[in-house]
Structure 1
Amino acid sequence: MTRDTLQGVFLALTAFLWWGLTPLYFKQVEAAGPMEVLSHRVIWSLVLLTLLLLARKRWSEIKETFSSPKIWGWLLLSAVLVAVNWLVFIWSISNGHLVEASLGYYINPLVNVVLGVVILGERLKLLQGIAVGLAAVAVGYLTYIGGEFPWISLILAMSFGFYGLIRKRLPVGAQVGLFAETAMVTPIALGYLIWIGAQNEMTYIAGGAEISLMLMLAGVVTTVPLVCFAAAARRLNYSTIGMIQYVGPTVNLLLATLLFGEAFTEVHAISFGLIWFAVFLFSAQSFVDMKRAKKQVAL
């Protein structure tokens, strides 16, 4: 393993561990309510990304991105998707549904496979097909036997799946893309804060210095793992990142059950067991594909 690869693994682990631990932050600011927290996340992320991109002298990339109506239009759609994803995730934490949220991020790579087949016309491989089938059985079991439709899991998986599909096809970097997305959503976020402020319902400032400072840190919480992930993606192949990504939902699940005291029933255990086996098959297929690609390069 080269030094560059080791750095990539470290950066990827940092990103996914950070994402896995973000519920600890959102628990600290839950008094503000999901919509206010989302608004601060959008605004302070934009502030931090602006400073970061200015420091790196990448303003020309931003101008180029906004000068293309086609790219601008797709980024507007991706902005809506990421805002929905963030809002549902924040809501799930403050309402005791982090277990379901973690399930959504386990399912997400399998949703990506389905989107690739249906929209991009990619060929579904055997182990991938079995994995997708097992995920469908898990969702059906949780709905029918558990008596609860996993809407949180599916919204998170689908919104992030479509978001990834759009961003994959756009010639826009991760940081510039998120800058554009947060810039588009910021007017709505500011409008919401002004509205609740006029009704004396805003936690920011009125809630005290501690929670106000915590809300301002939302930009750091969002941007740091993104920078680490972007750096890791330049050093690692997609299959390696794909296997490391399960660190995030695993940490989410551990926090939900061991720290936040959320229920993990027998129905959850069976559903997650099916998903974990599906993840194993999916990872095995990725590993086989990676080995095959290396052999072809060697030849």
Structure 2
Amino acid sequence: MSGKSEESTGIFYAASAYGLWGVLPLYWHLLGDVPPLELSFHRMVWCALFGVIVCAAMGRLPIILSVFKTRKVILALTVSSILIAINWTVYIYAVASHELVEASLGYYINPLLSIALGVVLLGEKLSAMRIAAIALATLAVAFKAAGLGHFPWIALTLAVSFGFYGYVRKQTPIAAFDGLTVETLILFPVTAGALLFWGAQGTGAFTSTHITRDALLLFGGPLTALPLTLFAAGARRVRLSTLGFLQYLSPSITLAIAVLVLGERFTVTDAATFGCVWLALVLVALDGRVSFRKKARAE
């Protein structure tokens, strides 16, 4: 396969992943009668079981088992499993409470938070443009807090949990799908135990003679794993700058769905908030372009 064809294939995979992540709120909306925590636990349980089945079919179970014997890796994945569990639960709560506009803001802020984490945790240096971008993101949070009348905890929890999740996974030597399988298996005793308890109490959503809902809950496993697999396939084939551009597809789709499909309000305060974030992202993109040109000239 030629380099150009490889890049095109990678863009298709990555865009498909971000597109699926963008429309996932519609899926969670169909399960709006299931409490967010229980729905999140179902997502983790069925994702773990689906991951084990796929890994067994691909002959990768020995790799999964070896991870559990590697103390450093399993500790890192325990941390990342907690972070992604928080992220998934808060996101599902945002869908259930009609706060998707704020949730999409969190994923717009996430790349800017990643820049800040690079400075604090990895000692990376900030250019003037990136300092301005982080200042604009801070201003956006202030605008949102003023409009809400309270701290925009949904947006910031999503941004912080996913930002640190990305940092931990970046430092952990394991393939994307294998890592997701191990993460959900780590939480399996808690999540499966809770679902069994709720089922025994007669308050659980699963096997309640509601066949459509049961099928949707089961489908949450592969639906969680599919975009991650597509993303991993795309990330191997495209340039980082291209991937960085594509990542805004997901919150953009989510924002459109929140306002145009689910009927959430997009206020003047939201316009000011998102305006600050979008301007910050433009500054980051320009800074990356300037840095690339300087490097090219130096070579």
| 1:94-113 paired onto structure 2 within 5 Å | 94-113=96-115
- The ranges of structure 1 where at least 4 consecutive aligned residues each deviate by more than 3 angstroms after the TM superposition are 287-296
Q: Which residue of 2 aligns with 1:127?
A: 129
What are the superposed Cα offsets for residues 159-179 of structure 1, whole Å, 9 maximum, x if unpaired? 001111100011111111111
Aligned-residue offset at 1:54: 2.1
Aligned-residue offset at 1:148: 2.8
Identity of aligned residues (%): 38
Report the CA distance shift for 1:97/1:55 in structure 2 as closer, same or farther (over 3 A). same
TM-score (norm 1): 0.95
For the residues of structure 2 that align with 1:205 and 1:176, how far apart are their CA atoms? 29
For the residues of structure 1 that align with 2:99 and 2:221, how far apart are their CA atoms? 24
For the residues of structure 2 that align with 1:138 and 1:63, how far apart are their CA atoms? 44
Contiguous gaps of at least 5 residues in structure 2: none
- Is residue 152 of structure 2 the alignment partner of residue 150 of structure 1? yes
Partner secondary structure for residue 251 of structure 2: helix
Aligned-residue offset at 1:292: 4.6
Partner secondary structure for residue 236 of structure 2: helix
Report the CA distance shift for 1:229/1:27 in structure 2 as closer, same or farther (over 3 A). same
Report the CA distance shift for 1:207/1:126 in structure 2 as closer, same or farther (over 3 A). farther
Moved more, 25-34 or 49-58: 49-58
- Is residue 252 of structure 2 the alignment partner of residue 242 of structure 1? no
Partner secondary structure for residue 149 of structure 2: coil
For the residues of structure 2 that align with 1:277 and 1:17, how far apart are their CA atoms? 23
Amino acid at match of 1:135: A
- Is residue 272 of structure 2 the alignment partner of residue 270 of structure 1? yes
Q: Which residue of 1 aligns with 2:83?
A: 81
Contiguous gaps of at least 5 residues in structure 1: none
Report the CA distance shift for 1:54/1:287 in structure 2 as closer, same or farther (over 3 A). farther
Q: Which residue of 1 aligns with 2:66?
A: 64
Aligned-residue offset at 1:206: 0.6
Q: Which residue of 2 aligns with 1:229?
A: 231
For the residues of structure 2 that align with 1:151 and 1:100, how far apart are their CA atoms? 9
Query: Are 1:30 and 1:37, in contact at CA under 8 Å, matched by a contact in 2?
Result: no
Q: Aligned residues, how many?
A: 297
What are the superposed Cα offsets for residues 178-210 of structure 1, whole Å, 9 maximum, x if unpaired? 111000111111111122112211111115100
For the residues of structure 1 that align with 2:159 and 2:66, how far apart are their CA atoms? 31
Aligned-residue offset at 1:130: 1.1
Report the CA distance shift for 1:144/1:9 in structure 2 as closer, same or farther (over 3 A). same
Moved more, 23-32 or 194-203: 194-203
Aligned-residue offset at 1:139: 0.6
Amino acid at match of 2:220: A
Report the CA distance shift for 1:46/1:291 in structure 2 as closer, same or farther (over 3 A). farther
Aligned-residue offset at 1:90: 0.3
For the residues of structure 1 that align with 2:117 and 2:209, how far apart are their CA atoms? 43
Partner secondary structure for residue 217 of structure 1: helix
Aligned-residue offset at 1:293: 4.8
Amino acid at match of 1:45: C
Aligned-residue offset at 1:50: 1.4
Amino acid at match of 2:271: A
Amino acid at match of 1:2: K
Amino acid at match of 1:25: Y
Amino acid at match of 1:27: H
Q: Which residue of 2 aligns with 1:211?
A: 213
For the residues of structure 1 that align with 2:71 and 2:256, how far apart are their CA atoms? 43
Report the CA distance shift for 1:207/1:117 in structure 2 as closer, same or farther (over 3 A). farther
Aligned-residue offset at 1:252: 0.5
Moved more, 225-234 or 35-44: 35-44
TM-score (norm 2): 0.95
For the residues of structure 2 that align with 1:9 and 1:97, how far apart are their CA atoms? 30
Report the CA distance shift for 1:245/1:101 in structure 2 as closer, same or farther (over 3 A). same
Q: Which residue of 1 aligns with 2:190?
A: 188
Moved more, 232-241 or 145-154: 145-154
Task: Calculate the aligned-residue CA RMSD, in Å.
Answer: 1.5
